[in-house]
Amino acid sequence: MGTRGFTRRDFMRLQLYGSAYVAMGGLAGLACDRKQGRETETKVIVLGLDGMDPNLVSRMMRDGKMPNFSRMAREGYFGPLGTSTPPQSPVAWANFITGANPGRHGIFDFIHRDPATYLPYLSTSKSEPAQKSVTVGDYVIPLSSGKIHDLRQGRAFWEILEDYEVPATIFKMPSNFPPTATRQRTFSGMGTPDILGTYGIFSYYTDQPVEIDTDLGGGKIHTVSVDNHTVQAALVGPKNTYRKGTPDAALDFTVYRDPEYPVAKIVIDEKELLLNEGEWSPWVELSFSMMPTVSVKGICRFYLKEVHPYFKLYVTPINIDPSDPALPISTPEDYAKELHERFGPFHTKGLPADTKALEHGVLNEEEFLAFDDMILEERLAISEYELNRFESGLLFLYISSTDQRSHMFWRLTDPKHPAYDPKLAARFGDTIQNIYQRMDHFVGKVLTRVDRNTRFLVMSDHGFTPYYRSFHLNSWLKDQGYLQLKDESKQGEQEFFQNVDWTRTQAYALGFNGLYLNRRGREGMGAVSSAEVTALEEEIALKLEGLEDPETGKRTVVKAYKASESYSGPYERKGPDIVVGYNRGYRASWQTALGKIPKHWYETNDKKWSGDHCMASDLLPGILLTNQKVRRPAEASLCDITATILASFGIPIPEDMDGKDIL
């Protein structure tokens, strides 16, 4: 695809999933042929708490606010855990899954680029549409299945456990969509899309005009009219690849607003919901018709934000229905259905908390936390279920709320933050502390299930730091002469490098930490010869590390990590040439991530997304808490946890793993 006409909506979809909801054959049949594994004398429980920061935990432990963490630390170990380069979640969790660095697993950022076209794509998965089809009237009938690929390379550690008949349950593992084909019980986590094939698109219906920041995306505003206290609208579903032109599938719905009282009735897909103002609906099961014999199922929840004087209705992103998954989300295939039978509908989207709705003001802080509390309760209920039936092998559980709340509420813990609001801080300033304490309570529950033969590890993939200032890296590259524009007068108007003159460009940035040289033989219009690479890398790295913010006088970049020194393995040349390690308080701008080039270098971050971790990996270790003593604690990293899991069951550590046993 060329760059002309490529919109943000196209990027959010990115054709990742195409006609993938007919591509279910790859994992079929695993359920009926699943080995149970052998009984193991040693058991291992790993609790992954995304983004939990060692400095915050240490302070709370000193203050007596995390007694179960303190108890484990006295008996075993607590300290920092080395993260990935860069310290981004999909990269870090891929390090943990494979026990190896990005040069071996091939995930370098949330966003990668196609070197031939310079266009972005989401780094962890892609789909291929059906290769053969036949057209009958307005319908396009696929004659072969599409395929969905997990772009992570290397073997997952639970595959190695399976080789040795060690049973494993892996619940909500990030960077594992579609789930690795295995007979182990697994459920995909971060990276699992909504039914539209995106990371999550909310819908908001209102008769009060609303504008949202298009640079942030994440939602769709539907302006409606209220006629005789009735609203007619449509809920947009997946692309219908069975129809010519692949139009959006949609479900019409009607809302009847009480003329006097704050209550409304929603009628959708032959279901009726009666909601009070400020009330969330239960899960609503939806069926989008693709053609007379094919439908795609999803689930969502409605939130009636306001009835009078304005009409305001929020609808969550439409999740994949676990009772009849339109995309592969578990192994065996019936594991998702098993959980649905026990718990009913539940969130399947990788990161269910709707940070974009809070950022855009569609949900306020109280509403966001109410939503995330529902997500957390659901996650903990399933985790406890798995914990209670865990008898042998490995159990991995994952919680995302620690990360998502840190992103959105850091501003209310830090009076120096540009988005600090003292009134909101008085109400919500303890949000991060509260979720940490909630996790301490859950650790206490796990400890009741830990016997002398059980190794219990609590880990996070990275830490957290404030995000005060954005840096437009492509703008800096342009002003330093490394990136050239076709038309200077149009600077800042276009994304996806549409105004870049590649024949004269030496370097460009894409994603949140990646800087690429425009290399001949690799990029589609490469301008840098192999003889120039080393000197150019050194020159750009030195300039970045010496860069100071004129407004604050602080260094913007702590370290420019050269890929040649940071990565090893067969995929090391597929990633960025330099990983930009930003200082505390600084991060690549949202515009940088998608190839936009504003006219200035810096921008104050006054957004609600106020804490972050896409900085220098040396500044942002995760946590490691164990119920046993640790060898070489100062050197412990994500890859070591993987090696330790294998060593716990007497399994030799593969030569292509970077980690070592630390217990």
Give the tens place of pLDDT for each residue, 258-278. Answer: 999 999 999 999 999 999 999
Three-state DSSP state, 243: strand
Cα–Cα distance between 538 and 559 in angstroms, integer? 12
Using pLDDT thresholds of 50, 70 and 90, give the confidence band for residue 355. Answer: very high
* pLDDT for residue 138: 76
Query: Residues near 591 by Cβ (< 8 Å), separated by ≥ 6?
Result: 215, 472, 474, 495, 597, 598
Q: Of 194, 167, 181, 199, whose CA–CA distance to 396 is shortest? A: 167
Same domain, 246 and 129: no
Give the tens place of pLDDT for each residue, 277-293. Answer: 999 999 999 999 999 98
Average of per-residue pLDDT across 479-494: 96
Lowest mean pLDDT among 24-28, 90-94, 210-214, 617-621: 24-28
Using pLDDT thresholds of 50, 70 and 90, give the confidence band for residue 196. Answer: very high
* pLDDT for residue 8: 41
Cα–Cα distance between 7 and 5 in angstroms, integer? 6
| DSSP structural state of residue 506 | -
Judge contact between 183 and 331, C-beta under 8 A.
Answer: yes
Q: Of 657, 614, 601, whose CA–CA distance to 91 is shortest? A: 614
- Does residue 34 register a pLDDT over 70? no
The pair of structure tokens assigned to 568 is 């090893």
Give the tens place of pLDDT for each residue, 567-606. Answer: 999 999 999 999 999 999 999 999 999 999 999 999 999 9
Same domain, 474 and 450: no
The type of residue at 545 is E
Judge contact between 202 and 216, C-beta under 8 A.
Answer: no
Structural domain includes residue 637:
yes
Same domain, 44 and 184: yes
Average of per-residue pLDDT across 29-47: 72
Q: Which of 271, 288, 320 is the last residue of a domain?
A: 320
Lowest mean pLDDT among 21-35, 96-110, 406-420, 594-608: 21-35
Helix, strand, coil abundance in the chain, percent, nearest 5: 30, 25, 45
Structural domain includes residue 116:
yes
Same domain, 310 and 368: no
Lowest mean pLDDT among 84-93, 127-136, 463-472, 499-508: 127-136
Same domain, 629 and 608: no
Q: Of 223, 14, 34, whose CA–CA distance to 121 is shortest? A: 14
Q: Which of 298, 320, 342 is the last residue of a domain?
A: 320
* pLDDT for residue 143: 67
The strand ranges marked E within 356-490 are 393-399, 454-459, 465-471
- Does residue 504 register a pLDDT over 80? yes
- Does residue 10 register a pLDDT over 70? no
- Does residue 17 register a pLDDT over 80? no
Cα–Cα distance between 79 and 463 in angstroms, integer? 12
Judge contact between 208 and 368, C-beta under 8 A.
Answer: no
Same domain, 300 and 332: no
Residues pairing with 187 in the sheet: 171, 330
Element containing residue 640 per DSSP (H, E): helix 638-648
Same domain, 175 and 56: yes
In 329-420, alpha helices (H): 334-343, 355-359, 365-388, 401-409
Average model confidence (pLDDT) across the chain: 93
Structural domain includes residue 654:
no
Using pLDDT thresholds of 50, 70 and 90, give the confidence band for residue 21. Answer: very low
> Whose structure tokens read 């432990």?
61
Cα–Cα distance between 236 and 255 in angstroms, integer? 16
Q: Which of 305, 320, 335 is the last residue of a domain?
A: 320
Distances (CA, A) of 392 to 5, 156, 556, 558: 54, 19, 48, 45
Burial (Cβ within 10 Å: 0-12, 13-18, ≥19) of residue 294: middle
- Provide the residue range defining the domain that includes 480: 468-612
What's the number of domains the chain is made of? Answer: 3
Same domain, 447 and 347: yes
Structural domain includes residue 658:
no
Structural domain includes residue 246:
yes
Residue 79: give its domain's CATH number.
Answer: 3.40.720.10
- Does residue 58 register a pLDDT over 60? yes
Structural domain includes residue 605:
yes
Cα–Cα distance between 441 and 418 in angstroms, integer? 33
Give the tens place of pLDDT for each residue, 535-546. Answer: 999 999 999 999
Cα–Cα distance between 480 and 503 in angstroms, integer? 16
Q: Of 360, 20, 362, whose CA–CA distance to 194 is shortest? A: 20
Judge contact between 588 and 603, C-beta under 8 A.
Answer: no
Cα–Cα distance between 283 and 291 in angstroms, integer? 25
Using pLDDT thresholds of 50, 70 and 90, give the confidence band for residue 564. Answer: very high
* pLDDT for residue 473: 98
Same domain, 253 and 113: no
Same domain, 245 and 313: yes
Same domain, 288 and 426: no
Give the tens place of pLDDT for each residue, 198-239. Answer: 999 999 999 998 888 877 789 999 999 999 999 999 999 999
Strands 312-315 and 393-399: unpaired
Three-state DSSP state, 175: coil
Judge contact between 109 and 123, C-beta under 8 A.
Answer: yes
Structural domain includes residue 371:
yes
Cα–Cα distance between 102 and 460 in angstroms, integer? 18
Judge contact between 114 and 15, C-beta under 8 A.
Answer: no
* pLDDT for residue 215: 73
Using pLDDT thresholds of 50, 70 and 90, give the confidence band for residue 411. Answer: very high
DSSP sequence for 64-133:
TS-HHHHHHHHHSEEEEEB--SS--HHHHHHHHHHTS-HHHH---SSEEE-TTT--EEESSEEEE--S-E
- Does residue 245 register a pLDDT over 70? yes
Average of per-residue pLDDT across 612-631: 97
Residues pairing with 467 in the sheet: 585
Give the tens place of pLDDT for each residue, 113-151. Answer: 999 999 999 999 988 777 777 777 777 777 667 788 899
Query: What is the chain's length?
Result: 663
Same domain, 553 and 417: no
Structural domain includes residue 2:
no
Of residues 212 and 434, which shows the higher confidence score?
434
* pLDDT for residue 36: 58
